[in-house]
Chains A and B, each alone.
Chain A
Amino acid sequence: MHDHGTEAIKAGEKIIIVGNPNVGKSVIFGLLTGRYADVSNYPGTTVTLTTGSYNMGGVDTQVIDTPGVNTLIPMSEDEVVTRDILINEPAKQIIQVVDAKNLSRGLVISIQLAEMGLPFVLVLNMWDEANSRGINIDVEKLAAAIGTMVIPTVGVERKGIKELREALYKRTFPSIAINYGEAIEAGIRRLEPLLPEVKSKRAISLMLLAGDESLKPWLKGHVGIIDITKIESIRHDIQDKYYEPLGYIINQIRVKRCEKVIADVMSKSQTDRSPIMVHLGNWAMHPVWGIPVLLAVLFLTYEFVGVFGAQTLVDLLEHKLFGSYINPSMTKVVTLLTSDTFFRDLLIGEYGIITMALTYSIAIILPIVGTFFIAFGILEDSGYLPRLAMMVNKIFKLMGLHGKAALPMVLGLGCDTMATLTARIMETRKERVIVTLLLALGVPCSAQLGVILGMLGGISFYVTLLWIFIVVLVLFLVGFVASKVIKGESSDFVFDIPPFRVPILSNILFKTLSRIKWYLKEAVPLFILGTLILFTLDKTGVLKVIEAGASPIVVGFLGLPRKATGAFLIGFLRRDYGAAGLYALAEAGELTPNQILVSLVTITLFVPCVANSMVMIKERGLKTAVAIMAFIFPFAFLVGGVLNFVLNGLGIKL
Chain B
Amino acid sequence: MDYWKSKEQRLEEDRVDEVLELIWMLIEDGEATVENIARKSEDPQVSPLLKDIESFGLISIDHHSGKVAFKETGKGRAEQIIRRHRIAERLLSEVFEVEERQIEDHACELEHTHVLGQVVVDSICTFLGHPPTCPHGKVIPRGECCKKFSLDVKPLVGSLTDLRIGEEAKIVFISSKYHARLDRLSSLGIIPGSVIRLHQKQPTYVIRIGETELALDKDLAKEIFVKKI
Residues of A within 8 A of B (CB): 70-71, 73, 75, 101-102, 104-105, 108, 130, 133, 135, 210-211, 244-245, 247-248, 251-252, 255-256, 285-287, 290, 386, 389-391, 393-394, 402-403, 492-497, 499
A403-B204, A493-B215, A497-B214 given as contacts; is B191 within 8 A of A252 (CB)?
yes
Q: Does B185 contact A (CB under 8 A)?
A: yes
Residues in A with CB closer than 8 Å to B214 are 494-497
Residues in B with CB closer than 8 Å to A255 are 186, 189, 191, 194
Kindly report which residue of chain A lies nearest to residue B219, judged by CB atoms.
A492
A403-B215, A496-B213 given as contacts; is B203 within 8 A of A394 (CB)?
yes
Q: Does B139 contact A (CB under 8 A)?
A: no
In whole Å, how far is A250's beta carbon from the nearest beta carbon of chain B? 9
In whole Å, how far is B172's beta carbon from the nearest beta carbon of chain A? 13
Q: How many residues of B contact A (CB 8 A)?
A: 31
A497 touches B219 (CB 8 A): no
Partner of A73, one of B183, B193, B204, B215: B183
A247 touches B206 (CB 8 A): no
Residues in B with CB closer than 8 Å to A75 are 180, 183-184, 187
Residues in B with CB closer than 8 Å to A244 are 182
In whole Å, how far is B164's beta carbon from the nearest beta carbon of chain A? 15
Kindly report which residue of chain A lies nearest to residue B185, judged by CB atoms.
A494
Q: Does B100 contact A (CB under 8 A)?
A: no
A245 touches B211 (CB 8 A): no
A104 touches B210 (CB 8 A): yes
B204 touches A108 (CB 8 A): no
Partner of B184, one of A102, A210, A252, A492: A492
Residues in B with CB closer than 8 Å to A248 are 179, 182-183, 186, 191
Q: How far, in angstroms, from A386 to B204 measured CA to CA in the complex?
A: 12
In whole Å, how far is A273's beta carbon from the nearest beta carbon of chain B? 11
Residues in B with CB closer than 8 Å to A135 are 211
A251 touches B187 (CB 8 A): yes
Q: Does B216 contact A (CB under 8 A)?
A: yes
Given contacts A130-B211, A247-B179, A391-B203, 12 further A-B contacts (CB under 8 A): A135-B211, A244-B182, A245-B182, A251-B187, A256-B191, A285-B206, A287-B201, A492-B184, A493-B215, A494-B184, A494-B217, A497-B213
Kindly report which residue of chain B lies nearest to residue A133, judged by CB atoms.
B211
Kindly report which residue of chain A lies nearest to residue B216, judged by CB atoms.
A494
Q: Does B212 contact A (CB under 8 A)?
A: yes
Report B156-184 residues with CB < 8 Å from chain A CB. 179-184
Residues in A with CB closer than 8 Å to B193 are 252, 256
Kindly report which residue of chain B lies nearest to residue A101, judged by CB atoms.
B211
Q: Does B192 contact A (CB under 8 A)?
A: yes
Q: Does B188 contact A (CB under 8 A)?
A: yes
Q: Does B220 contact A (CB under 8 A)?
A: yes
Q: Can you list 22 A-B contacts with CB-CB less than 8 angstroms, sorted by A residue number?
A: A70-B188, A71-B183, A73-B187, A75-B183, A75-B187, A101-B210, A104-B210, A130-B211, A247-B183, A248-B191, A251-B183, A251-B191, A252-B186, A252-B192, A255-B186, A255-B189, A287-B203, A492-B181, A492-B220, A494-B220, A497-B206, A497-B214
Q: Does B202 contact A (CB under 8 A)?
A: yes
Q: Does B200 contact A (CB under 8 A)?
A: yes
In whole Å, how far is B213's beta carbon from the nearest beta carbon of chain A? 4
Residues in A with CB closer than 8 Å to B202 are 287
B206 touches A105 (CB 8 A): no
Kindly report which residue of chain B lies nearest to residue A392, judged by CB atoms.
B203
In whole Å, how far is A584's beta carbon from the nearest beta carbon of chain B? 43
A492 touches B203 (CB 8 A): no
- For the complex of A and B, the 6 pairs showing the least CB-CB separation, nearest first, are A287-B202, A251-B186, A70-B187, A101-B211, A71-B187, A494-B216
A495-B214, A497-B215 given as contacts; is B200 within 8 A of A287 (CB)?
yes
In whole Å, how far is B188's beta carbon from the nearest beta carbon of chain A? 6
Kindly report which residue of chain B lies nearest to residue A397, judged by CB atoms.
B217
Partner of B212, one of A102, A108, A394: A102
A390 touches B194 (CB 8 A): no
A211 touches B210 (CB 8 A): no
Kindly report which residue of chain A lies nearest to residue B217, judged by CB atoms.
A493
Q: How far, in angstroms, from A75 to B181 measured CA to CA in the complex?
A: 10
Q: How far, in angstroms, from A610 to B185 measured CA to CA in the complex?
A: 40
Residues in B with CB closer than 8 Å to A390 are 203-204, 206, 215
B179 touches A245 (CB 8 A): yes
Q: How far, in angstroms, from A611 to B212 measured CA to CA in the complex?
A: 38
Kindly report which residue of chain B lies nearest to residue A212, judged by CB atoms.
B183
Kindly report which residue of chain A lies nearest to residue B202, judged by CB atoms.
A287
Kindly report which residue of chain A lies nearest to residue B186, judged by CB atoms.
A251
Residues in B with CB closer than 8 Å to A105 are 188-189, 210, 212
Residues in B with CB closer than 8 Å to A403 are 204, 215
A70-B187, A251-B191, A255-B194 given as contacts; is B204 within 8 A of A493 (CB)?
yes
Residues in B with CB closer than 8 Å to A211 are 179
Residues in B with CB closer than 8 Å to A247 are 179, 182-183, 186
Residues in B with CB closer than 8 Å to A108 are 187, 189
In whole Å, how far is A576's beta carbon from the nearest beta carbon of chain B? 33
